Structure formats: C-alpha cells, structure tokens
Structure 1
Amino acid sequence: MWLKSQDYGLAALPGERADGSPFPVREVMTARSASGDLLVCPLDLRARAAAAIVGFLSTAGDSLREATLGGAAEKLRQKAGAVLGELTGGAVHVVSTTWTVPLPWFVLVLPDERVMADGSVYWQVPMGTARKRVQRAFELAESTFGESGPTKVLQDTSRWLAHFHEASLVELDYGGLVELLDEETIESDTSAEDVNAILDAIEHPDPGAVAERFERLREFWSDLAVRERMQ
C-alpha cells in the first residue's frame, strides 16, 4: 500500500493524515473465539507501512530506490523509524510477506484446521496452542539446523507471539496469494502437512522423510518464487 501510494505522489503513509498524524479511527479485523468472545485485531496500517519502508530501503538496489523515491530515501527512513518508535506494545498485530508464506510459519497450524471459504485460505488457532507449537518446532530446529535459517524465523515468531494476550487468536492466511493459485492447486496444497511431517521426522530421526517433504514443498512454492524473481 505504501509503495503504490508513491505512484500518486502521496507523502503521507497509509493510515495517517496529510500532516503526518495518525487517523483517529483505527481499521480493525474481527473474529470470534471458540467460546464466542469477540476478538479485535488492529490492522496497524501506518506502522506496517513504516516497517515496509525500512524493509524496502534495506533490500532494494540503488537504482530501484532512486527511481522510486528520488532523494527522499533518508527522510523516509527517519520518518519510518519515528513511527515504529511510537508503536504501542512494541509489535504490529499483522505480519506479512509477499509472494510466499515462510515455511516455518506452518508449524503454527495443523492440516485439518485449514478453512477455505469465499476465496480465502486460512487457519485460526488459540494463542496458547500456537506458542506451544512454535516452541516445540524451535527446539527441534535449533538442534538440527543450528541458530540460523528456520530456527531464526521461529525465534522471531515466538518473540512476536509473546507481545499479545494469552486469550488471543492467531490467524495464518494466504491473503492475496489465492489470486495467484487456481482452485485445483489450492486443493492439492499440503504445506501444513509437509512441515509438520518434517518436525515428526526430525523428532524420530527419518532423514528420508525430511528430504521427501522438503522436495514437495519446493515443488509447490517454486512457481511463486519464479514470479517473484521476474518482477
């Protein structure tokens, strides 16, 4: 949303007024817990846009930054840092990636918890369950892969989950990715099953099963990876 706004010469971030102050009304998502309680998730558009700026400035090449932002890069970096410094609770409520879902995130969910409805694909799990699953996966990954790669992603995910109330609900969803996948492909997606099978194969050593499941994941997500490289 932030990058698209640059096409129209907008100085303000999504979620803030032209003078740089945040909108007084926050956009939210709502859901019901298993007990029927109404749960509210702030979308944190302004803070997420600031985080997107930081990510863009740290990963985009010089020519892309120049073509997109001209000489405003450093000013935007300072503004983004200030906005993130104002973030209540120290974490945004929504974390997103483009083109793919980080495979370690699938440890949060089980295959039979998937919901496919109204053009959406998502899972919802109680916070306590999510934290336990991430902790188990982190311990297995650390003992197998060391401190980098999936272990680092799981560590960051655990720290993020720790910011929120224990009665919260955690949602993993495909967002706009469903527009890039046809119905047959979505139906055949076994990512959650494969990631959990890898954990089981690590816990009860079965190198062959680990390799087989990694290959299935690679095949499923490779098409989206190619699209990302083509952009």
Structure 2
Amino acid sequence: MSPSYTCSLRVFVPLFAMEGRKARFWSSYVRRQQSAHPDPLREEHDAMLQAVIREGINFGVIDLPERALTATWRGDTVVCPLDSRGRALQAIVDSEWKLPFPLNGYVVDRESRRRAARLQLEPSVIREAADTHILSASWQVPFWWALLFDEEERHGPARTSAVFRAPISEALVRARQARDLITGAFGVGEFLGELEFVIGWLEQFDLDSMVELDFGALTDLGVRPDARLSSVDIARRALEYLEADEFDDALAAYHEFMSVWEEAARLESFN
C-alpha cells in the first residue's frame, strides 16, 4: 500500500482472459513475481521519489519495468498491471492544471511536461495506449467510486481495512443503476460526467475481472469516529434514500459524504 494520501481504483484481469503476448508476459511474471518483486507498490513509490528528489524530473528513473499487483479471485489468478511509467507521465502532464498557478511552474517545468507528453506516444509492447488499470485520487475518495461497492465487500479484517473488492459486472450494475436513479430524479447534468467516465472505463475490461477500491493512507479519514460508518456505507445509503424517493435524506447523506472529504481537503491545504 502506498504511504501517500491517495486512494486507488484498480481493475484485476484474470490471466485466462488475456491473449497473445500480454498473456505470455503476465503468466511468466506471476510465476516469478513473489521472489523478484515482493512489494511492487513500494518499489514504485521509492522510484517516483527518486525521480523528483532533485531539480527537474529524472525520466530515466520513471522508466520502470512492467510490474503488477496479483491476487486470487474466485479461484483464478488476476493481475493489475501498474503501468508505473504511464501513470507517472500522465501525472507530469496533469500538473499544469492540477496544481495552482504559479506553483505548477515551480514543481514541474514546461519542458518536462512537453517531454512527458511526447513519451506518452510510445506505448509499451504489452500495453495498448488506453490500457490503464488504475485510477487515483488525492486526499479524497470520489463518490462515484464508493457507490460501486457494498460494505460487505470489505477485504481484510473488519474496520481495520479499507479495501473493497467486487466483481466488475456487479460494479457496473451499481454504477448504471446510480446513473438511472440520479438522472430520473434530477435530470442529466454535467456532474454525471465523472460517473459516465467510470462506467466507460470499466466497460473496457473482461466481465470476469475484479475491481478494487483501496483507501490507502486515507483509511482513517474515510470513517466517521462517532458512528463508524465508512464512505462506502454513506454512499450506499444516499442511493437507497434516492430509490425510495426520500430526496431530502438522499441529499443529506450525499452532503455527509462530501463533508468527510472537505475536511480532508483542509488537511491537504495545511500539508
């Protein structure tokens, strides 16, 4: 688990659903992964720190070998390629609008962003250009991610883990139901754009895949100390109220969810 204050939405694809060079590469990786790369997330995190620890971006450090997270899901081996290089390049490009002016120019210079954009045009031999298995968000758990899961899908010890795993087919059903409920109640709006993006992203993967939400270092921030309700609980409650036409309660639950992460945003501003 990365120590940075980000949460991740990851898709793990079964080996049996892969084809060609990709299937051969990841099958070989799984056979040798445990001893060669016991903690690929830690390796990725350390490399990214080395890339930015001095003035300018060290693009050589960013160019990591292909690695992945692996798990057993319903008796099958599933793989989530990290695509560390691609995600790092995207973060460099996105720094222009994700960081406030003039901080964005001090943290990442324009030439580094241009170089990152050029390097993005060189996809891996085992990865297609749009083949991204991980989405990340800093200092928040997006509402649209939380509603993909149910509290019973928490992976690991109860209340000490904030990792949720669900069949991607079930996550898609929930996302589409949420879209229909919200559209029926409030009409079509720009605020649904992020949900539509998540649906489209999930639809790219094999339906036997598993989707995972990992709060990471945000775990304690995503749980209310009083009632011990996680953000997944609250998001699910908001949709249940909406389905029952209890609009005031649905909006109250939504605002409760957002208030958790507004507090986290204040912590970010102090960081």
> Would the TM-score normalized by the shorter structure come out above 0.5?
yes
Give unpaired runs (5+ residues) of structure 2.
Answer: 1-44
Aligned pairs, number: 221
Among 124, 131, 135, the alignment partner of 2:172 is: 131
The answer for the alignment partner of 1:19 in structure 2 is none
Map Cα deviations across residues 42-89 of structure 1 (whole Å, 9 max, x no partner). Answer: 011111112212221123234213212345245235335425798516
CA gap 1:120/1:112 in 2 versus in 1, 3 angstroms: closer
TM-score (normalizing by structure 1) = 0.81
CA contact (8 A) 2:96 2:105 kept: no
CA distance in 1, matches of 2:140, 2:86: 22
Among 233, 248, 253, the alignment partner of 1:208 is: 248
CA distance in 1, matches of 2:226, 2:164: 14
The answer for the alignment partner of 1:42 in structure 2 is 81
Q: For 1:58-97, list aligned pairs within 5 A.
A: 58-79=97-118, 81-83=120-122, 88=128, 90-97=130-137
- Does residue 1:8 correspond to 2:44, yes or no? no
The DSSP-based 3-state class of the residue aligned with 2:240 is helix
CA distance in 1, matches of 2:142, 2:181: 17
Structure 1: which amino acid aligns with 2:215?
A: Y
Alignment root-mean-square deviation, CA: 2.9
Structure with the greater relative contact order (CA < 8 A, sep ≥ 6): 1 or 2?
A: 2
Structure 2: which amino acid aligns with 1:45?
A: S
Residue identity (%):
23
TM-score (normalizing by structure 2) = 0.71
Q: CA deviation at 1:212?
A: 2.6
CA distance in 1, matches of 2:224, 2:231: 14
CA distance in 2, matches of 1:106, 1:145: 21
The answer for the alignment partner of 1:189 in structure 2 is 229
Deviates more, 1:114-123 or 1:135-144: 114-123
CA distance in 2, matches of 1:14, 1:81: 16
CA contact (8 A) 1:90 1:163 kept: no
Q: CA deviation at 1:182?
A: 9.6
Structure 2: which amino acid aligns with 1:157?
A: V
